Chain A
Amino acid sequence: MANENPKLAAMQAARLAGKKAIRSYARKLADPEDIKDLNITPMMDMMTIILVFLLKSFTSSATLVNMDQNLSLPPSQTRLAAKQAVPVTITKRVLLVEGEAVAPITNGRIDPQLKRDGDNGYYITPLVEMLSKVARREKKVAEVTGQKFDGELTIIADRNTPYRLLTEILYSCGQAEYANFRLLVLKSRE
């Protein structure tokens, strides 16, 4: 008995120590001291909202103009904000409608062969044809949406464009039923 009691006591002590070690290990597993993964879901929500907001404000800008050495807008003190309309761009080298090249410009003049009445004419044939197509499309859209076709154009012209060329282009626009123009300018408070 005297030999058994110390053995029993030792076994009990070993069992208790074993259980203690297992409990301690279980606690360690259940409650890790260092954070393994940061919860980034709220941050993702926030970022997605910012992204949607920025995309919306970026795309709702009425007109996006890529200014370079061939297209430099003149400054103006106007307070009217740019509005969405069919853009006609006059650079130093080319005339564009909705970003599509219509006629080349050389030294501030359109090639006389592209004008119905020759060198002194105002009627730029490819411009009228192109704008007539656009006008037909706009009218269909206006009809479907129940709005009125307002015949408005945004003129994006280089600051050195001569008035003669501008007049020829505005006259041709008028021939395609566009009579109201919004001259796009850089806002300044000089």
Chain B
Amino acid sequence: MKTLKIEELSKNFGSTEVLRKINLEIDEGNFLVLLGPSGCGKSTLLNIIAGLETINEGNVFIDDYNVSKVEPKDRNIAMVFQSYALYPSMNVRENMIFGLKQAKVSKEKIEEQLEKVSKFLQVDALLERKPSQLSGGQRQRVAIGRALVREPRIFLFDEPLSNLDAKLRVEMRREIKKLHQQLKTTVVYVTHDQTEAMSLGTNIAIMNHGVIQQNDTPENIYNKPSNTFVADFIGSPSMNLIKGNLKQSSDKISFVARGSNLEIPINGYDFKEKSSQDNKEVVFGLRPEHIFFKRSSDNDFEIKLRADLSEYIGHEQIMTFNFANQEVLAKFPSTIKIELSKDTNLYFDLTQVSLFDEQTEERI
């Protein structure tokens, strides 16, 4: 049984296609993050799961039950919003029990739930306050509390941390993570922040233009991006994508960057298809953190590149190098001194390489 299953889901607003043939599955207790740039359809998808938007095609199942035409209140879900959406005229207590009262839950049960949840979230001292008298973090906790008291099958979070300042955001992120570890409820979480996605999710679905680009564990998303969009979107600074060709001889396969003669051996690369790839136009992907200033293992590939730009950001520095007129970024500890406009010896960790087809932009 899948807690949530989405099948061939499409949605358009008038002539604008927002979601195209989305398929998704979540197992009980998993934390799925929908990640993507603004306008990619992730919030619309969440609203559809909640039942706040209608569907043009496809179905949504909760616990194998087709809820596509079921009202939001009957879907056994709860949602936390970016603006918290606490009812301004009600105090914290009334906010938290509003849903239970609508559902005609008995008074004793309501009190019991309220006490349990407000103690758990440490908002029990705030019950008589109005939302306007709460700080951002407290409002966020109350909003989560309002979702918790209903004991839903699925929690939906719509960018819940975007309104908080940087420090509080990190704290609340940890709290949400703890919350999920303790309660083990199924969560669908929308964000455009990759750090949030990486640290919270057991699964991340990266979306762009209404299509899921990759749905995988955070580790796989980071290490084995399935196309250049994912490779570019995840990581900061993002993955170096160098255009070039493959060169294959009897027992050797290597990459040659466009405008250079240097052959980078990639024998260890795990191709999806083992057929001949000779002369194929590809994109060579390597993250800035996998380029080293000192040799770290024997397999590292040594290369001389000219340093063009240095960006100091405290604990580390981001250097821009010129590789056959393509920019290559590398991340070093800020203690290393590198002279600009001079050739520098660098070491590529070739075990971390990703290769993409230049035409289809898919991983090969």
Q: Do A and B come from one complex?
A: no
Q: Which residues of B contact A (CB under 8 A)?
A: none
